[in-house]
Structure 1
Amino acid sequence: MNSCTDSELFHPPYPTPTPTPTPSTKRKLDELIDDSFPLTRMRKDQFTPSSSSAPPRGQVQFFVRVFSGKTLVLLFDQNDTVFDVHDRILSITGIPIIEQRLIYNGKQLQLEKTLSECRLVNDANLQLVGRMRSTGHPQAWQLLVDMVGLVFSLCQSGPNSSYNSSYGMECESNNSLINNLISKFLSMTRQHSDREQSVGHLGIFLTSLAPLALVTLYRSSFSGNRAIAEEAVKHFVNSSRNTLSKGAYVLCAPIVLEFCNLLSNGVGTGDGLYVFCRSTLGGMVGENGSGDQGFGRVEVKDLINVRELFQFVSELAGKLSNGLVASMGSELLAGVSSVDVGDFSSFLYAVRNGINPKLLARSRAKFPVPNGDNSECYSDIRYGEQIGFLHGVFKDLLGKMETCLEKLEGRLAVMEKENLKLLSFKWNQYLAILKELNSVATMFEGAEELFWGTLKQREVSLCYLIVNSAKRTDDHKWILAHKEVTNFEARRHLVMMMFPDVKDEYDELHEMLIDRLQLLAESFAYIGRAEPESLHGGIFMEFKNEEATGPGVLREWFFLVCQEIFNPQNALFVSCPNDRRRFFPNPASKVDPLHLEYFSFSGRVIALALMHKIQVGIVFDRVFFVQLAGKNVSLEDICDADPYLYNSCRKILELDAEVVDQDALGLTFVREINELGTRKVVELCAGGKNISVTSKNRKEYVNLLVQHSFVTSIADQMAHFTKGFADIMNSADTKNRALLQKSFFESINLEDFDWMLHGSESVISVEDWKAHTEYDGFKETDPQICWFWKIVAKMSPEQRKVLLFFWTSIKYLPVEGFRGLASPLYIYRTLESPDRLPSSHTCFYRLCFPPYPSKKIMQDRLRIITREDVGCSFGTW
């Protein structure tokens, strides 16, 4: 990796828009200090150039500190009044006297008092604050006046000073007093039921300069003062969130922005309190807004100018850029902060939300990419500078991400060679950054193609990140919408998080006691009639009159009940003539009055099998899968389900037009169906009996025929199966479950679903089996173990499946083979007589047998348990 200089590391290589101070901050600072005024504007006899010089007899020299940190040096007679001092401050700063308030020793100086009466000593320090204005919220003003006075008293005198507030709380500790005043202020805010009143009330917090006072205290040299200020700022933020309604809380965004700007300028962007306030503001602006009765919808973008948020996007983009560079280096270097990524996402969302309406107003789908030829392409657009800046962020971060993914692929090659599976903490924010880059890419012409093309080239590292760092709480829609850049393992990981976690706690499991002779009916009663939420934790399964329990028995039940559900004799599903493993709903299923309820039950069982990661040896036909994904069925989709109809339709479409127009086919827009032994003619459209198929309408005819045969005829069955499947999805909301169900099937291919539900279609490999088997009581070189594997190697593929089922209650392996199982398999040595058959503990993948004296005896024992009627119901637990 190339080394970089400090300037390269801390300054992103894209144009950064100039941060705009908040209007409130700029206004207050402009009022309080004019950097251009010289001290010589005072009268010569009222200015002492050095604080160490003694003032003339009868006069007093003192200092007036203003909020910018600058100090005015004033000289007055002892008999001059406080009003005279205010007047002088007016002549210097332009701040009206009515807006001024001087604090000395924690008390406000009264205008009519003389400096002598105020006991103003030489070299005294005074603090200038804003005076309470005429307002409709006098109590709120008084609260904040007291708080600001106390804060500046602490700034001057240290954390042990006291302040006589008008609320009589002198005995309280300073931090408790400040927090109590803040709590009272917010309680008053909560009493306002409309937006206008709340805005006016919260505005006092800014007008009184309370944020500036608290930040000034936070910058104090006293550690105690710093702690008091930090607690007060966090108290305001947290109490606002917990005390106020959602609408009123959003109105606090300008105040939090003021804290951010003051802290950024005062202590820097690396300070903990600044990061806390920045994250709070990010949470406010990163939402669509919220409202309450009386407030209407409150949008943060209506309270804060979009330009004011770019300073945060710029700051965070730089930090992410630096973090990505660091993550490419030594293992000792830190990666990207999750806090920075979360804040970047929030502010970026708010910025895009504020800019995109301007984009739509120009009737343009996307912005052009800025380059040397069209650098002025945004000159006529509001926020043009910021839009160009966003593209710079996109290019810089995408370039660094590509380098990171390339380096990660190199690490993965080493990890695979050394059989390691450790994900470095430095990489766990890569996906979140890519998600944000995708959101920016949607704004610019050609950017999406560049983005997804880059990820396709880095598919190996991208899929590794998905499998090892994608969390259930993350938003994965952006990846699932482009499933072509992922592999099966990554897609499976993402869609499996749409299901609830399977619980291990017994009291959260749905209990079932099933009679094998009534397997389908009793399973229907337990699963089909249960509340969906009761199935989300997991299932505890027992067969009547059998001792075995646990995961092995549950795996066996899933396999057996699915065999029954898709048994053609039960008339729920029809197998495909060209592939008997594939099924789709039977249009004639209504022979059973409960058929629709059974389809809901079937949907639940299939979803539960997926949730429990159990392969059941069943696959769906394309016409079934396509409809589950909410897509239209085409002629090509029915080739396996009805090859005769498929071939007939192909011939109709391929026939010479003249032959079709001569009515050589003799077809009209009708379909003949066999319903319960009776042939019936159904019109495909209104008046279909009288509409002949011609070369001009034959495509429409074929489409209507396909839709009626495989969509209309099974619409009710599909609706109930879909509802049953959705019942198991990971959401408490019924509507969200339906969306998750559709997203599940949209996000995978039919082949993916085959592998997830059916499992591996390869013949079981004895070498793979042996490589994933361990021994207890035997050694790999013992004759019994050598005989065992030789016998298994000579078994038929079906016998191996039966043996595997006897051993584990698994008949179909995951697509990864034995590597995909939850644990290795085990062979245990028992002390039983050699005339005993092998036994199994299917929950733990254990096969147990004694040390048989000969290969022939072992072969005889294994032949018995690999009989289909024995091996499927012989495991103990």
Structure 2
Amino acid sequence: MSSSLSKRKLDDYADDDSPPFSINPSRMRKDHSTLPSSPSLFRSSSRPLQFFVRILSDRTLVLRADPSDTVESIHGKIQAITGIPAFEQSIIYSGRQLQCDKTLAECKVQNDASLYLVGRMRSTGHPKAWKLINNVIKLIFKLCGSKSPVYVTQTVKVMLAEFMSLTSQTDAEKATEHLLIFSASSAPKALVMLYMSKDNRGAADEAIRHFVTSSKGILNVMHNISGEFVPIILEFCRLLKKAAGIDDPLYCLCRSSLAGMVPNTELGEKAKTGIPDIFPFVQELSTKLTNDFALSTQSMPFPGPSLADIRDFASFVAPLIKEIEGFCDPIKFPSDFRRVCHYGEEARMLYKIFHDLLGIFEMCLRKMEDRMNNDVKQDYGILCVGSCHQLEFAKELHKISTIYSGCEGLFWETMKRNKGAFCNLVVRCAKRSEDHTWVMECKEVTNFEARRHLAMMKLPEVKDDYGEIHEMLIDRSHLLAESFEYMKNAEIESLRAGLFMEFKNEEATGPGVLREWFFLVCQAIFNPQNALFVACSNDLRRFYPNPASKVDPMHLEYFRFSGKVIALALMHKIQVGIVFDRLFFLQLGGRTITLEDIRYADPLLYNSCKQILEMDPELVDQDALGLTFVHEVEELGTRKTVDLCTGGENIAVNSENRRKYVDSLIRHRFVLAIADQVKHFAKGFEDIIGCPRLQNSFFKYLDPEDLDWMLHGSESAICVDDWKAHTEYHGFKETDDQISWFWKIVGDMTAEQRKILLFFWTSIKFLPVEGFRGLASRLYIYKTSESRRRLPSSHTCFYRLCFPAYRTCNVMRDRLNIITQEHVGCSFGTW
């Protein structure tokens, strides 16, 4: 037999990339049938046999012997070569263990046959484990080699479970030795052989799944041995992929389990598993994702890529990203691939994968954008269901883009071209448990709805369990003081759960009353007469902390209370009609105030500072300004001078220090003067949101205008047509005279009267930016059986307006005119 032929025969059964036991049992039986039926034929031949013995370490021995030699003599030869005692050896051939007293001829061992040495029960450390895995292998060969059903007292799964139960969960060294026994015994290859057999697939499936599940359980306790499990699961993946294919459920389970282990495993040239070992899974999953995305763009409904595939792809690609990031700045294509790291070829392939995936992802976004623009509601709904995991996929694409020069910009340009679809993904798919800071790295790609959604997820969710929420009973005549006391003494956790409001001597309770309380208490907090906040001189709708608030010894506690109220109003999605000054907003987000930021807050000071910075340097150095590092402030009716730095009165402003002077002036005027107030307001906000980091990110996610819309609501006048479109009727029909009269009367009202009517109806005076569609519910008009002399009533919790069938339009107008008076329209709802 030539060496090349020997190698070919060996490769058929012992290729490192394929299961050595991948011989089809039916083929095995067919081959057996061609053997001479009588062992005498072997004994009569003097021609020696050459055969191969695969030992536990994947080493292959080439042995020669006469057909008349006993199996025991073969054990002796193996011992002489390997040192493995004969009593620890078991030789398997054609699915049967060879008995020591039999000859090779009696065992029908043919020339160039492949034999397997299994179950070496070492007398070191783990004899029971060796014995167990040896018995598992023997049973597998018995099951695969038998032509008829085999009766067994224990299943492969039970035996494997007993083996796994012996794995130490406290001693990493012992656990590692135990797993090496499993690998050395070629158990993965034997189990895959069993899985591919015709009659034993279910038994093997159960056993392999049990091993994988047990592996995860052990790793939950001992994270530091993931490097021992990964090569085993990796071998299962390779064997199953070749034998069963990538769509096989068991293969998918093993691949996904491997992906879950990779992030906690050290990979590299010195480790048992390297990046080249796992990169094929990146390529495999990228192809699958591409195909699934392509199918999702077709007209027929298709769910698109699964979340599991996206996360597995991310896990497999993460080690390469980490390796590249550790070497240099974003790498340039193609010059840097070989230079930057040991994995230049993988980096090159990932670069191509990124572009391919970005291209197909843009196709999906365009499809979504088209359906959004065409307003095909049915198809759009199907598309949204299929796109529920695409935001996470976009996150992974962005992560890959950061390691290649120019790719991050390409990614964001792609998102900008499909801004509507991308923002729709953010609003529909972003979850509280996920990190979305990457989205805000390019704020221009987001719209108000996306930014609001991301910011709102920083706030606690209002719970439906009324047993946990905080209850308040407030006297309207002492609204601010009593609300302050309740908040001050409340448990923070109960406030985060939600609020239950009731006014003293009033029967009304529920969400409608809560909305009214938020509106009224915010009006009180920001009332300049209470000295907590002052209105901006150029925009009286905007407020910032009053530098002179210290006139009230409790002012800082009230600022903390104010922060809680605003956070709770945002949490409950209630528009309170308040707008923050830009500088106040920026400070809450931890941002530095610059000259351009004060442009609208103090136009006079802004222009003066601009002139100082733009003046001719020679004029400034000639002391043409006559300025020193001091600032004049008014406090409690008196004016005083404050140094902008130590000894500021004696430091003249010149061309070299004028920038420092401007920065110091801005800092003292707009930051230090209200630093304590801002700090305590932020602390109150933090009480509700949970921590300073979340508070800062809440404000950083938003533009100042975004917070305006969230707190104040729509700046537009109430649209009667929009109001009517979102109203339903009970007892009345849309064609009834009373309904026609009602909308005609509302159409004739002033803007303020409409606000009062809306407040009477819903306890909402300021609509969301989206108008009536942004409310939590549609509005309702109910017909009552009460006397026509009765005024309309409302159930603000449920957005219900109730009135009888008035006889004439004038009667209805009179009744509505009464309730649209400010002092009547407030607090008139029943519940």
TM category (shorter chain) comes to 0.7 to 0.9
- 1:531 has 2:456 as partner: no
- 1:547 has 2:507 as partner: yes
Q: Which of 209, 212, 227 is matched with 1:237 structurally?
A: 212
Q: Which of 156, 161, 167 is matched with 1:179 structurally?
A: 161
2:40 aligns with: 56
2:321 aligns with: 352
- TM-superposition CA deviations, 1:435-457 (whole Å, max 9, x none): 11111111111111111111111
Instruction: State the shift of 1:534 in Å.
Output: 2.2
Q: Do the aligned partners of 1:60 and 1:77 also contact (CA within 8 Å) in 2?
A: no
Matches within 5 A, 1:224-623: 225-244=200-219, 245-248=221-224, 250-251=226-227, 252-287=229-264, 302-357=271-326, 359-360=327-328, 365-370=329-334, 374=335, 378=338, 381-416=341-376, 421-623=381-583
1:19 aligns with: none
CA distance in structure 1 between the aligned counterparts of 2:147 and 2:633, rounded to whole angstroms: 93
Q: Do the aligned partners of 2:324 and 2:403 also contact (CA within 8 Å) in 1?
A: no
Instruction: State the shift of 1:544 in Å.
Output: 1.9
CA distance in structure 2 between the aligned counterparts of 1:740 and 1:159, rounded to whole angstroms: 66
Q: Which of 739, 749, 768 is matched with 2:722 structurally?
A: 768
- TM-superposition CA deviations, 1:703-732 (whole Å, max 9, x none): 101111222222222222223223333xxx
Instruction: State the shift of 1:391 in Å.
Output: 0.7
Q: Do the aligned partners of 1:32 and 1:67 also contact (CA within 8 Å) in 2?
A: no
Instruction: State the shift of 1:417 in Å.
Output: 7.4
Structure 1 residues 242 and 709 mapped into 2: Cα distance closer, same or farther (>3 Å)? same
Q: Do the aligned partners of 2:756 and 2:825 also contact (CA within 8 Å) in 1?
A: yes
Instruction: State the shift of 1:803 in Å.
Output: 0.7
1:153 aligns with: 142
Stretch of structure 1 that moved more, 851-860 or 59-68: 59-68
CA distance in structure 2 between the aligned counterparts of 1:301 and 1:796, rounded to whole angstroms: 78
Instruction: State the shift of 1:662 in Å.
Output: 3.4
**One-letter amino acid matched to 1:277:** C
CA distance in structure 2 between the aligned counterparts of 1:720 and 1:107, rounded to whole angstroms: 80
Instruction: State the shift of 1:120 in Å.
Output: 5.7
Structure 1 residues 31 and 313 mapped into 2: Cα distance closer, same or farther (>3 Å)? closer
Q: Secondary structure at the match of 1:726?
A: helix
Structure 1 residues 81 and 594 mapped into 2: Cα distance closer, same or farther (>3 Å)? farther
Matches within 5 A, 1:735-750: 737-750=691-704
Instruction: State the shift of 1:874 in Å.
Output: 0.4
CA distance in structure 2 between the aligned counterparts of 1:710 and 1:158, rounded to whole angstroms: 90
Q: Do the aligned partners of 1:60 and 1:75 also contact (CA within 8 Å) in 2?
A: no
Stretch of structure 1 that moved more, 528-537 or 454-463: 528-537
Q: Which of 118, 127, 130 is matched with 1:141 structurally?
A: 130
Q: Which of 706, 711, 718 is matched with 1:752 structurally?
A: 706
**One-letter amino acid matched to 1:204:** I
Matches within 5 A, 1:833-844: 833-844=787-798
2:749 aligns with: 795
Structure 1 residues 172 and 33 mapped into 2: Cα distance closer, same or farther (>3 Å)? closer
- 1:114 has 2:114 as partner: no
CA distance in structure 2 between the aligned counterparts of 1:274 and 1:764, rounded to whole angstroms: 60
- 1:806 has 2:760 as partner: yes
**One-letter amino acid matched to 1:175:** K
2:737 aligns with: 783
- TM-superposition CA deviations, 1:360-406 (whole Å, max 9, x none): 3xxxx111123xxx5x8526742111111011001111111122222
CA distance in structure 1 between the aligned counterparts of 2:802 and 2:604, rounded to whole angstroms: 51
**One-letter amino acid matched to 1:241:** K
- TM-superposition CA deviations, 1:668-696 (whole Å, max 9, x none): 11223333444433221122121011233
- 1:202 has 2:189 as partner: no
**One-letter amino acid matched to 1:826:** Y
Instruction: State the shift of 1:97 in Å.
Output: 8.1
- 1:683 has 2:683 as partner: no
- TM-superposition CA deviations, 1:292-344 (whole Å, max 9, x none): xxxxx999995521111101101000101111111111314452222211111
Q: Which runs of 5+ in 2 are unaligned?
A: 1-12, 24-30
1:876 aligns with: 830
2:28 aligns with: none
TM-score computed with the length of structure 2 as normaliser = 0.88
Matches within 5 A, 1:11-26: none
Instruction: State the shift of 1:421 in Å.
Output: 4.4
Instruction: State the shift of 1:73 in Å.
Output: 14
1:16 aligns with: none
CA distance in structure 1 between the aligned counterparts of 2:573 and 2:294, rounded to whole angstroms: 39
Structure 1 residues 377 and 229 mapped into 2: Cα distance closer, same or farther (>3 Å)? closer
Structure 1 residues 766 and 785 mapped into 2: Cα distance closer, same or farther (>3 Å)? same
Structure 1 residues 666 and 73 mapped into 2: Cα distance closer, same or farther (>3 Å)? closer
Q: Do the aligned partners of 1:566 and 1:573 also contact (CA within 8 Å) in 2?
A: yes
Q: Do the aligned partners of 2:19 and 2:192 also contact (CA within 8 Å) in 1?
A: no
Instruction: State the shift of 1:580 in Å.
Output: 1.5
Q: Do the aligned partners of 1:78 and 1:116 also contact (CA within 8 Å) in 2?
A: yes
CA RMSD of aligned residues (A): 3.8
Instruction: State the shift of 1:468 in Å.
Output: 2.5
**One-letter amino acid matched to 1:876:** T
- TM-superposition CA deviations, 1:604-657 (whole Å, max 9, x none): 221221121111111111111111222110122223433443343334334444
Instruction: State the shift of 1:546 in Å.
Output: 1.5
2:809 aligns with: 855
Q: Secondary structure at the match of 1:558?
A: helix
Matches within 5 A, 1:805-824: 805-824=759-778
- TM-superposition CA deviations, 1:770-814 (whole Å, max 9, x none): 222121122223222222222222222111111100000100001
CA distance in structure 1 between the aligned counterparts of 2:480 and 2:534, rounded to whole angstroms: 17
Q: Which of 584, 587, 598 is matched with 1:638 structurally?
A: 598
Q: Do the aligned partners of 1:106 and 1:150 also contact (CA within 8 Å) in 2?
A: no
CA distance in structure 2 between the aligned counterparts of 1:118 and 1:56, rounded to whole angstroms: 8
Stretch of structure 1 that moved more, 542-551 or 796-805: 542-551
CA distance in structure 2 between the aligned counterparts of 1:138 and 1:391, rounded to whole angstroms: 49
Q: Do the aligned partners of 2:170 and 2:222 also contact (CA within 8 Å) in 1?
A: no
Structure 1 residues 34 and 135 mapped into 2: Cα distance closer, same or farther (>3 Å)? farther
CA distance in structure 2 between the aligned counterparts of 1:261 and 1:105, rounded to whole angstroms: 23
Q: Secondary structure at the match of 2:557?
A: helix
**One-letter amino acid matched to 1:697:** N
**One-letter amino acid matched to 2:235:** E
CA distance in structure 2 between the aligned counterparts of 1:67 and 1:675, rounded to whole angstroms: 91
Instruction: State the shift of 1:140 in Å.
Output: 3.5
Structure 1 residues 29 and 450 mapped into 2: Cα distance closer, same or farther (>3 Å)? closer
CA distance in structure 2 between the aligned counterparts of 1:419 and 1:789, rounded to whole angstroms: 35
Q: Which of 700, 718, 726 is matched with 2:686 structurally?
A: 726
TM-score computed with the length of structure 1 as normaliser = 0.83
Q: Secondary structure at the match of 2:688?
A: coil
CA distance in structure 2 between the aligned counterparts of 1:844 and 1:621, rounded to whole angstroms: 34
CA distance in structure 1 between the aligned counterparts of 2:724 and 2:523, rounded to whole angstroms: 29
Structure 1 residues 509 and 150 mapped into 2: Cα distance closer, same or farther (>3 Å)? farther
Structure 1 residues 704 and 416 mapped into 2: Cα distance closer, same or farther (>3 Å)? farther
Q: Do the aligned partners of 2:119 and 2:137 also contact (CA within 8 Å) in 1?
A: no
Q: Do the aligned partners of 1:78 and 1:114 also contact (CA within 8 Å) in 2?
A: no
Stretch of structure 1 that moved more, 785-794 or 608-617: 785-794
Structure 1 residues 854 and 490 mapped into 2: Cα distance closer, same or farther (>3 Å)? same
